[in-house]
Every structure is written in structure tokens, then in C-alpha cells.
Amino acid sequence: MRTDLLAGAGVGLAAYLIFTGGVDRVAPLLLLAALGAAVAAAGHARGTPPGLGAAAPGRRPSTSITFDDIGGQDTAKRELREALDFVIQRQAAARLGIRPLRGILLTGPPGTGKTLLARAAATYTGSAFLSASGGEFIEVYAGVGAQRVRTLFQRARQAARETPSRSAVLFIDELEVIGGRRGRQVSHLEYDQTLNQLLVEMDGIDRHPEQVVVIGATNRVDLLDEALLRPGRFDRVVRVDLPDRRGRREILELHLRGRPLAPDVDIDALARDTYGFSGAHLEAVVNEAAILAWRQGRSRIEACHLAEAVEKVLLGERADRRPSDDERRRVAYHEAGHALISEMLQPGSVASVTIVSRGAALGYVRQRPQDDVWLQTRRQLENDARVALAGYAAERLVFGEASTAAGDDLRRVAEIVERIIAAGLSRLGPVDSERAPVDAVQQVRAEITAALLEDVEAALARHRPALDRLAQRLFEQETLSGEEARRELGHLEPPAPQPPAPAGHTAAGQAAAATRPDPEGWQRPGGEWPAS
């Protein structure tokens, strides 16, 4: 009987009793009935099988994705295909005594395509596909998560029976929510019970004729319980990294396919300018560029739309705030300092300079990397730190003191110096910076930072006319392309190799200069960092 009919009948009965005066006789019965209905409703909510309730896991996609629809992840796709071949050729694998594949773990930064890879895996094997998120299993009531895990695997086996391949791919996103190390949630054992049930279900996969492959995805593999990672549960761990330049080009081509493009769109240049972007970022760039073209009434996506979209995805929307002229002049010198040192270290590296507020930044310099960088020497790390210090140093040179605009820059410098020490590239040598004497590590940090700041201040003072020209043009025009900025800067002489500091300099500067291995001068590495 429908619930709404029961509710209507109950309201009618209550009205009849009120008018006839029989409420006193049946009031206890009505109270007990109301309590029973509440308990039944709560039990129904707790016992709702996944996929049948509004918040239950076990969704199925409406469209299929193939590996050809995913760009920039050739290594991950190859590893997945090799693992999934055991599912496709299970009889041949069984003749060699190969046990069925139980689980594949996808790890990597957000937005790199882990969900798409799981859906493509189901298409590749001809399997049914079910998806769930780790957060959907956890409830305040003990035992609910474990019940949902059991029901989800039952649904996966039922879906597998309905496919010709008699197999299913069960995708669990945010696996660290239910797969975290046991014992961490001391006050609540629901997490541990849910993980225990997941381990039991994965161990019992072989007892059923249907084959269910569990694909988990996580950004924090370090949080997962060791029992979940052992062989026999997640048999393969596939790393899904950020795409390189070639991969970014493939992703951009996929998202730009079928869209009207202007002749000035250079996909190679766009792939180079989006260093460090994930697949989700690149999709957002293309979508934002299309929105900009639509708002301007253009029939095609132009290069200017894509450039604006890159900056919007990187830093956010343009802000409405309008600083005073004194603040704008200070920001202009700050960003001009970043641009000057960047061009000195690597000519052609500046893509754009602006003092227009965007997001939390009052201005920024967007750099154009030459090549993707996978490792860095001390010299390259120091040059990154020099670019970061240039805004702070330019403010001190021109105005006599710096401002809070350099806060993010100085935090980045501290991170770079920490990497130098942690990698064994400082005078401390190969040492664990967390276990080394605090005073010694702090002294080396101060030495490196002081020496770098001294180098940057000397370079800016030597090229003060170029700094003034660029800052003045920025103050007037607000935004300059890389080519316009280079015309204002003119020819910049690279600094000569740095000898040990002469007498009279600071002790920290002398120590750092004497130990700094910089015989070949400054060299700018590839890489992108938007100065703030």
C-alpha cells in the first residue's frame, strides 16, 4: 500500500476521533503507532540498498568512454590495457594458473582523468560499470557503511550477469575515505567496519562466477591501509600524472575538436603555455575561451580568447577593486622587477605582464616555459628564487621599503630554499633537514636567501633605466604582452659569474658566496610561475 494513502487514512481517522470524542480512548494507540512509523522510517532509511535511495552509491553512466577519448595519459592507458587483458582473456589466463585480477588503484593529482580511465576500462572489457564515492558509505549509524559495501558488490555481480562478458567494473572514487589506516578514528569504528567489509568482499570475489574488478582512485595513497594495498587486493597501482607538453597538446586537440577556430590559434604554443595544467584545467581553458568568444559576439575562438582563458583558470576572474595611483605605481615596479629578472635569466620567458587585479593578486607576470622540467639543479632552483625575490627587491630599490605584496613571493622563496637543503644541495650536504640541528639549518636558510637577494638587488640597480621604462609603461597601459615588455626592457646583459663577496659585505652574504657553486653564471630553467 502506498505511503501517501496510509498518511491520508491516518489524518481522516484522527479527524473522526476528535469530532466524536473518542480521542481519550485511542490516544495511547495513536502514540504507539506514530512511534512505530518513525522507527520503520528510520530503519528503511538505514537499510536502503545502494542505488535505490537518493544518497546511495552505485551509479551507472549514461554514455561510454573509450581510451581514444582520453589524451595525455599514454603510460596509464598502456598499463591499464595490460592489466585488463586478463579480464578479456580469462580462459587463456586460467590455463596458465593466473588468478583473476581483483583490483586496480589509480593514483595521481586531481583532474588528471582517473574517472575517465575507469569508464574506459569498462568499455574496453565490455563490462558493466558502476561508480561510487567513498564519502557515500559513511554514516553516523554503525554498520551502515558495511551494509552498503555488501549491497554494492551484490549489485555489481547482478550487473555482470546481465552482460555478455559476465564482468563488471566497480569504480570507487575518494578511496582514502573508507580505505584509510585502521585505528585512526578512535571515537568512531564505522570507518574501520566499512574497510573491513571492503577487504572481505575483495577477498571473496573469486567465489562467484561473475568477475568484478574494483578500480579505486585516490589523491592520497599515503593514507591508505596497508592491508588494502597488498597483492591480491589491489594488484596494480597505476600512476596518473599531470600531462607533459605532448600530452597537453593531445588533450587540447580533443577538446577543440569540432569547435570553430581562428587562424591565429597555435595549439603548440598553447600547450607550452599551460605547463602544470591537468586535463580538467585544459578543458576549463577551452570552455572559458568559448564563453569569451560568445560574449564578444565572435563566431570563432581566437588566440586572445585562449590567452585570457589561461589567465582566468590560473588566477581567477578579474577583480573590480581599483587601487590608488600610489599603489598601482608600486605594483608596476613590483611586476616590472619580476619581468626584468626573468628575461635576464631566460630571454623570451615572459608571456604577459599586468597590474590588473585578478583573484587575490594585484598584478602578475605569466612566464612561458621552454620545456617541461622534471628535475632541477641548485643553480636552476636559485634562479627560480631570484625571480620570486625580484618584486620585493624592486620595491626596496625604488621606494626604500617593501610591502605586503611580496608575501606570497617570500613564501615561495622559503619553499625553494627548503628544497635546496632537503635535496642535499646546500653546504650542509646530504642531510635530513628535519633531524639536523635547527640552528645550523636556519643559518643556511638565511645565508642562501641573503646571497640571492644581494644578487637580485645588484642586477636591478644595474638595469634601473630599463626597470623605470617598463614600470612606467605598465602604469599607463596596465597590461603588456611579452613582446611589448621585451621592447621596453631592451638588451639585458646577463650577470657575470659571481666571485666571493669582498670584505665589508654581510657575514651571511660572504659565507653563501664562498660556498655557492655558480661558476657558469645564472641560467634560467624551464617552468612556469605566475608572480604575484
Residues annotated as part of the active site: 335
Q: Which three three-digit cell numbers place residue 505?
A: 659585505
Q: Which three three-digit cell numbers place residue 312?
A: 582566468
Output the DSSP codes for 102-151: -EEEEE-STTSSHHHHHHHHHHHHT-EEEEEEGGGS--SSTTHHHHHHHH
Q: Which helix (H) or strand (E) holds 215?
A: strand 211-218
Q: Is 33 helix (H, G, I), strand (E, B) or coil?
A: helix
Closest alpha carbon to 282 in 111, 76, 527, 528:
111
Q: Which three three-digit cell numbers place residue 414?
A: 622559503
Closest alpha carbon to 113 in 149, 72, 174, 64:
72
> Are 71 and 279 in contact, with CB atoms under 8 Å apart?
yes
167 bridge partner residues:
211
> Are 391 and 334 in contact, with CB atoms under 8 Å apart?
yes
How does 353-365 read in b/e, with b if 16+ C-beta sit within 10 Å? Answer: bbbbbbbebbbbb
Report the amino acid identity of residue 344: M
Q: CA angle, 442 as apex, 439 and 448 as ends, to 5°?
A: 140
CA–CA separation, 488 vs 51, rounded Å? 63
CA–CA separation, 407 vs 392, rounded Å? 9
Q: Which three three-digit cell numbers place residue 271?
A: 600547450
Q: In what order do the strands lie in the sheet with 103-107?
A: 128-133, 167-173, 211-218, 103-107, 236-239
Question: Could you tell me how far CA 148 lies from the centroid of its own chain?
Answer: 29
107 bridge partner residues:
218, 239
